[in-house]
Amino acid sequence: MTDKRQKKALTLECIASMIKGNLVGEGSIVITGASGIKEAVEGDITFVHDTKYLKYLNDTKASAVILKEGWDNAGLPTIFVKEPYFAFATVVREFYELGYFFHDGISERAVVHHDVKLGKGVSIQPLAVIEPGVEICENTIIGAGSYIGLNTKIGSECIIHPNVTIRENIIIGNRVIIHSGSVIGSDGFGYAHNDKGFFKIPQIGTVIIGDEVEIGANCTIDRATLGATKIGDATKIDNLVQIAHNVEVGKNCAIVAQVGISGSTIIGDNVKLGGQVGVIGHLRIGDEAQVAAQSGVAKDIPAGTRWMGSPARPLMDAKRIEAFLSRYDRIMDRLRELEKKVERDKSK
């Protein structure tokens, strides 16, 4: 059994060098962990990235803190950086590798077909099923109860958590993380309809997932009808997201929980979709676009713009409509008063 969360010990001076920060205080202090400002204990380093949390520094038990450049000294050893949140994440990853316990090697209780290709250091957990023609590259972990379908290829250093389903003929890149309950490569929602009802269209395409993608729990990414559903490098997908057939998502996108993206929509690079955004099919969302939570996207969104509302509109237009609606009752009352005045004037 391997524990990938074993602690380390680093001096504060070493940490400051690692995150390229300016250290104020004793650099020889030994740091043995990283924690939130309320939960921290002696030996931990913590951080503050928002001024509203500075008040907690008076009571924290942390041995050191990471703060934003330009803020006042915290009264305890401090490392000043441009981006405290990012710096703290770097420290956490140094102390604790991605937290997943796994058995080394191939479990005797896994079902692995003889016609598979496994790289060095692959770990396959109990009750996983690996079908013929699968290729799994070096140092990848397949969690307990996961299913890897016929001829699927999974890159190196991936973590496939327990009870993930990756169907046949799927391509997964390197350093991909897929959380429990997700299904990659189910049939897309494709039917032809006539007066006799719905006729299923065979879904014979694939899914291609790029490098360093992370997919949350209970997500579904459907295979293409023809061609490929694509997720670009370094895109992060939250829990409970549905991505339909032939969708193409660009690089470095962030897709928050309960988003639904209909078929054949193309999403550019660095796009952010807030929670519960719905996108109808065959649209284009340009690079760097942002869509606020619970928006309903029914038309193309140009690159670099921010949209919100249902139906989604450019941000400022949507805010003006919201502002109007908040005054609607007062406006209607005033309108009725004016109508009554007009009627009185007519009767004179």
- Return the active site residues: 245
* CA–centroid distance for 104 within its chain: 28
Number of other CB atoms surrounding residue 342 within 10 Å: 10
Alpha carbons 310 and 298: distance in angstroms, whole number: 9
Cis peptide before 132 (omega within 30 of 0): no
| Those residues with Cβ within 8 angstroms of residue 344's Cβ, 6 or more apart along the chain or in another chain | none
For residue 71 the two structure tokens come to 């803020």
Pairing of strands 10-11, 30-31: antiparallel
Give CA–CA dist 163/243, Å, rounded: 19
Which long-range contacts (C-beta less than 8 Å, at least 24 apart) are formed by 157-163? 159/98, 159/100, 161/100, 162/125
Q: How far is CA 106 from the centre of its chain?
A: 29
Residue in the block written with tokens 């007062």: 330
14 to each of 26, 27, 34, 91, 301, how far by Cα in Å? 12, 8, 14, 11, 46
Question: SS3 for 186-200, per residue?
Answer: CCCCCEEEECCEEEE
Question: 194 CB contacts (<8 Å, ≥6 apart)?
Answer: none
